[in-house]
A and B are shown apart, each in its own frame.
Chain A
Amino acid sequence: MLTVSDIHTYYGNIHALKGISLQVRSGEMVALIGANGAGKSTLVHTICGLIRPEKGTIMFQGAAIHGLLPESIVERGIAVVPEGRHVFSTLSVEVNLQMGGFVHRRNSSQIQEDIHWMFDIFPILRQRRLQLAGTLSGGEQQMLAISRALMSRPQLLILDEPSMGLAPLVIKEIFRIILDLKEKGKTILLIEQNARAALQIADRGYVLETGRVALEGESAMLLEHKDVQRAYLGQKGHLSTVPFAAKAQKRQRSCGG
């Protein structure tokens, strides 16, 4: 469904993505893991058209979408739940949801219908519908951000760090929701620092490191992979291939063990 091939993206002089290729097939959930600064969010911004890639192609459902404006990419069926949620905090929950359906022009009956559907999935939002989004708790804001993205009826849902800044119990709830969406047949690209949680629910995974794909494969394989365990799952493994492990060791040390 989504094929990214050999994407290079720059921030000014900084070469942020150095030839990334990945694939998301219809109906599957793909996890994208990596440390801070690995280029995860840059990749998301590149896919949804907020940044233009210097080189490479992004194909979505058989058509090239790199170089399109963000609004036409949304129209083609990619919705993103941005990192840090970014709900419209001075607008009410309901207006936030209406904003999510923005691309559906004047089809207000469909938007109304979808809002009720969202309220069925997230009953808490129904209780809060007239409240300003900024007054919601972190978990509720994340639910709002997810349902806002679903409002555009996307074929592909991209979640950028949905667990960021949330309490463990709330993270569990959010991941349950994401799994639920997957089981309902949504295609999902899940970007996470919380590698274990992401790999546990995803079908396949990609490990990003300093702008490159360091590793890719089935989630179960990645969960068992020694380097992944060392670097991202906080378990002791054996030293193996040099750059990957050396970096991982450095990272572990700087985190205090």
Chain B
Amino acid sequence: MNKKDRWAFVGMGLLIAVFPGVALNVKCISHYVDVMVFAGIFSLVSLGLCMLMGYAGQVSMAQAAFFGIGAYSSGILTSRLGWNPWMAMPAGAGVAALVAWIIGVPALRLKGHYLAMATLGFGVIVHIILGEEVKWTGGPSGMVDIPGLQIAGWKLTSEVAWYYMIWSVVFMALLFCLHVIYSRVGRGLRAIHEEEMAAESMGVPTACYKVQIFVFSAILSAIAGSFYTHYVTCLNPGSFNLMWSIRFVLMVMVGGTQSLWGAILGAVLLTFAGNEWLQIFSDFEILVYGAMLLCAALFLPGGLASLVPKVIGVFRNSLTHLCKR
């Protein structure tokens, strides 16, 4: 972790810590704590996807499917088989990892966009299975009565408790990702993204690394899916379709593919947009997303994360200007 990351870490930590204190005291935004819980859950997905897109240079259109695998594993294991949620979570992550590995090994040995294509198909398959396997998943009507989470006998019921729990998980995931990026593996990944052939001739095991990152992103998505299940305590397959996969990709694109901070920023922004601000567009919401993607690609290829240093620079300049006067 470098100095900049350390400052960003402290800054974000403070923001996240004081947010509920502020939001709960202002009536019209008091439900934002609830939205932020979702934002935290989606941040886990976008962190994994950011590692895949920004550092391994591959796109996955199946993050919603892995999210769904995690969610339904948790749902089925806890409500039908009576498992402890904390046991169901790693089980779901394990299933997602295995599936990702099976798809990833052939798709990532090939170069180019084969992973995007394979995952696109896979995402659709998972969505169909979730809708059709009525006996296990409840089919289109979904599942209800899924237990919530407990930590050491203490039930997580309030939104604020969930908020702090999920965001500490996000911070742990972020720390882990940052650690990976600045390690030897991370250098290898960035080299793959830069010049794949050169990286290969330096001895970077490109196919192996890409599969590992893909599996890692699937695990993070599945864990996020488990948290989601236990937070909303009901499931329906609509939350795991292709549109959601696209949304996850969009989160990373808007936030900035090369920045883990951007991934979190994008997840928060898109969650607020989806849950709050874009409700008035109803069915035309998808057009707005399209416009966002277009704008991000055209005007902000580095994503929102690339704006932050610029804004800080302008701020600093005007500050020194004021001081001189």
Which residues on A are within 8 Å of B, measured CB to CB?
Answer: 48, 50, 69-71, 74-75, 79-80, 82, 86-91, 95, 98-100, 102-103, 105-106, 148, 152
Contact = CB atoms under 8 A, between A and B. Distances in A.
B25 interface: no
Interface string B183-214: 01001101100110111111111000000000
Given A88-B191, A91-B190, A106-B184, A74 B201 contact: yes
Contacts of B197: 50, 82, 86
A114 B57 CA distance: 30
A100 B188 CA distance: 10
Interface string B162-188: 000000000000000000000010011
Interface residues of B, number: 16
Looking at A75, A102, A152, which has the most chain B CB atoms within 10 Å of its CB?
A102
Given A102-B184, A102-B188, A70 B200 contact: yes
Contact of B205 (A69, A82, A90, A152): A69
Contact of A88 (B190, B200, B203, B205): B190
9 closest Cβ pairs, A-B complex: A74-B203, A86-B198, A103-B203, A88-B194, A71-B203, A86-B195, A70-B200, A71-B205, A80-B201
Given A70-B200, A88-B191, 13 more contacts: A50-B200, A50-B201, A70-B203, A74-B201, A88-B199, A90-B190, A99-B187, A99-B204, A102-B184, A102-B202, A103-B203, A105-B184, A106-B184
25 contacts: A50-B200, A70-B203, A71-B200, A71-B204, A86-B197, A86-B198, A87-B195, A88-B190, A88-B191, A88-B195, A88-B198, A89-B194, A91-B194, A99-B187, A99-B188, A99-B199, A100-B202, A102-B184, A102-B188, A102-B202, A102-B203, A102-B204, A103-B203, A105-B184, A152-B202
Nearest to A78: B201
Given A88-B190, A88-B195, A99 B201 contact: no
A51 to B, nearest CB: 11
Given A82-B198, A88-B198, A152 B203 contact: yes
Contacts of B202: 74, 99-100, 102-103, 148, 152
A60 B103 CA distance: 35
A154 to B, nearest CB: 10
A69 B199 CA distance: 13
A71 B199 CA distance: 10
Contacts of B200: 50, 70-71
Contacts of B195: 86-88
Nearest to A96: B191
Contacts of B205: 69, 71
Contact of B191 (A50, A70, A71, A99): A99
A144 to B, nearest CB: 11
A70 B201 contact: yes
Nearest to A72: B203
Contacts of B190: 88, 90-91
B318 to A, nearest CB: 28
Contacts of A152: 202-203
Contacts of A98: 187
